[in-house]
Amino acid sequence: MNSPTQTNGTPVIQLRDLSKTYQSGEVEVKAVRGVTLEIVRGDFVAVMGASGSGKSTLMNTLGCLDQPTSGEYLLDGQAVAGLNRKELAKLRNRKLGFVFQSFNLLARTSALENVELPMFYSHPLIGLRERRQRAAQALAKVGLGDRASHHPNQLSGGQQQRLAIARALVNRPELVLADEPTGNLDTRTSIEIMGLFQELNDTGITLVMVTHELDIAAYCKRIVVMRDGQVISDTQNENRRVARQEIATLNDAEQKAQLA
């Protein structure tokens, strides 16, 4: 694994007094209230908060799935406000990778074909050979190089999430957004997935992850906490957990138990 890459101070995300208000009947719901936030290239940020805190709305805005009511959002220097649906889709496909709790894989297609899919939308002119090569490279990056022909139902939960991460990486995005990526996984598999995220982050990939689990947020470099639509704390994680070390400890314990 490469040595950890430091953040270089170049902003990937810039939010300035960002707000989002929904209309629910006659009631206005202020989901996000005046958030100012900057995330630089190479950062790994956990966004935390209780249900209704605004973290999901904020993530939808970062992912160009929703437009703010007011304020400014710059993604890799480009202002998002005012873009139409086609322009948002183009920006989303070229700049962002998404990882979801439920994997969202196509059951009847192979792992390789699942990873190829985003390129049909973002780079439709890429030839079959290059598309296959890039998909195979993404699978290798997440440790699934030998599972290219397998279907999702032939993979474990952790392997399915790795496949979803490969799909998020295939377009070489500026930013990967992960929404509760370990929510459907057991403890050991969750640590393995966070280890993969740490390895990807060490290569310079910027990640923002929504989670309600403090144990999972502890693997990130930075923790942002929201309440009532506002950021109430934004701190560097000085006691960051290292997944690779924890996996090694688990392996040693399992080996000793087998020999006992």
DSSP-assigned states of every residue in the chain = -PPPPPP-S-EEEEEEEEEEEEEETTEEEEEEEEEEEEEETT-EEEEE--TTSSHHHHHHHHTTSS--SEEEEEETTEE-TT--HHHHHHHHHHHEEEEETT----TTS-HHHHHHHHHHHH-TTS-HHHHHHHHHHHHHHTT-GGGTT--GGGS-HHHHHHHHHHHHHTT--SEEEEESTTTTS-HHHHHHHHHHHHHHHHTT-EEEEE-S-HHHHTTSSEEEEEETTEEEEEEE-TT---HHHHHHHHHHHHHHHHH-
Convert the pLDDT of each residue in 156-208 to its tens digit: 999 999 999 999 999 989 899 999 999 989 999 999 999 999 999 999 999 99
**Residue range 71-81: average pLDDT?**
92
Q: What is the pLDDT of residue 164?
A: 95
Q: What is the pLDDT of residue 2?
A: 35
Query: Is residue 147's pLDDT more than 80?
Result: yes
Q: Output 93 or 214, whichever has higher pLDDT.
A: 214
Query: Is residue 3's pLDDT more than 70?
Result: no
Task: Name the percent of the chain lying above pLDDT 70.
Answer: 95
Q: What is the pLDDT of residue 7?
A: 62
Q: What is the pLDDT of residue 23?
A: 85
Q: What is the pLDDT of residue 82?
A: 81
Q: What is the CATH number of domain 44-65+84-259?
A: 3.40.50.300
Query: Is residue 126's pLDDT more than 90?
Result: no
